[in-house]
Structure 1
Amino acid sequence: MNAEIMNMIVMFGLMIAVFYFLIIRPQQKRQKEHTSMLEALKKGDEVVTQGGLIGKVAKVADAEVTLDLGDGVKVKVVKQTVIDVRGRTEPKPANDAAN
């Protein structure tokens, strides 16, 4: 009887370990990457939203991002709905006064 209980406890522990390494841990990693991507958003980045909108970031606020969709169309979206950054803007090189 005691061996059966130990086997059941070991199997239960193995199931928890499998769930952790195959489901929970990868999801936490994706969430961490998404959060760092959102924190790095800046004006000029080309982004894609969950709704399929593609536009350039015109303004970044705490919880919202204003996207320029072209032809003067600007929309505000919730920052969390941005799922991908397609093009990052690079800082412009400093202009030399000697030129």
Structure 2
Amino acid sequence: MTILLHLATTGADTGAADASDGGSIFSFLLLPLMLVAMYFLIIRPNSKKRKAQQTLQSALGVGDEVITTAGIIGTITGEDGPTRFWLEIDDDVQVRIARGGIAGRLDPDALESEKPDDDTSTAGDPVAPALGDDVENSDEVADRDS
């Protein structure tokens, strides 16, 4: 029993001396590397996002079309103090919203370019083409199965 204890302590002493030199350098460099990585992965992107949001909110004015953090789209019709706006979301429907509740400004030119230009027979019904495609596909599958 004492021989095993002696071998274990002797082997541990020589191995510990070799490992402690490399281990101490690694552990010395690990903390600064983690701090630098945390700065570039977490702190810096959040501060850029926060600055962009503050710039946007300070540049908002009457007549801007905006989207709120809740997803409501409307037009700013007036200011109600330094921290609130009146937002018109429909004809004669206005709500008061905090300046911080504005997620972004909508560009009317970009919205019109996203609309489809072609007119089909179901232009007023966007669901009809999708339903027609599904019906045709289900008929083809039924014919193949039988």
TM-score range, shorter chain: 0.7 to 0.9
Question: Could you say what secondary structure the match of 1:4 adopts?
Answer: helix
Match for residue 12 of structure 1 among 31, 46, 63: 31
**CA distance in 2 between partners of 1:87 and 1:42 (Å):** 14
Report the equivalent of 2:63: 44
Report the alpha carbon displacement of residue 7 of structure 1 after superposing the two structures with TM: 2.1
Q: Which moves more between the two structures, 51-60 or 28-37?
A: 51-60
For 2:43 and 2:84, the matched residues in 1 are separated by 28
After TM superposition, the structure 1 stretch with the greater mean CA deviation from structure 2, 36-45 or 59-68, is 59-68
Match in the other structure for 2:98: 78
Q: CA deviation at 1:12?
A: 1.0
1:78, CA displacement in angstroms? Answer: 1.1
Give the counterpart of 1:67 among 45, 70, 87.
87
Shift of 1:62: 1.1
Flag the structure with higher helix content: 2
CA distance in 1, matches of 2:84, 2:25: 52
Tell which has more relative contact order, 1 or 2 (C-alpha 8 A, sep 6+): 1
Q: Tell me, in whole angstroms, the C-alpha distance in 2 between the residues paired with 1:86 and 1:80.
A: 16
Coordinate RMSD, CA, aligned: 1.6
Q: 2:70 is paired with a residue of what secondary structure?
A: coil
In 2, the alpha carbon distance for the partners of 1:23 and 1:73 equals 40
- For the residue of structure 2 that corresponds to 1:58, the secondary structure is strand
1:41 aligned partner, one-letter code:
L
Which has more strand, going by share of residues? Answer: 1
Q: What do the CA deviations read for 1:17-55 (whole angstroms, capped 9, x no partner)?
A: 011001110110010000000000000000000111100
Aligned length: 88
C-alpha distance in structure 1 between counterparts of 2:103 and 2:28, whole Å? 40
Stretch deviating more after TM superposition (30-39 or 6-15): 6-15
Give the letter for the 1:38 counterpart: Q
Alignment-mate amino acid for residue 87 of structure 2: L
Alignment counterpart, residue 107 of structure 2, candidates 84, 87, 97 = 87
SS of the counterpart of 2:47? Answer: helix
Task: Please list every run of 5 or more consecutive structure 2 residues that lacks an aligned counterpart in the other structure.
Answer: 1-19, 109-146
TM-score normalised over the length of structure 2: 0.56
Identical pairs, percent: 28
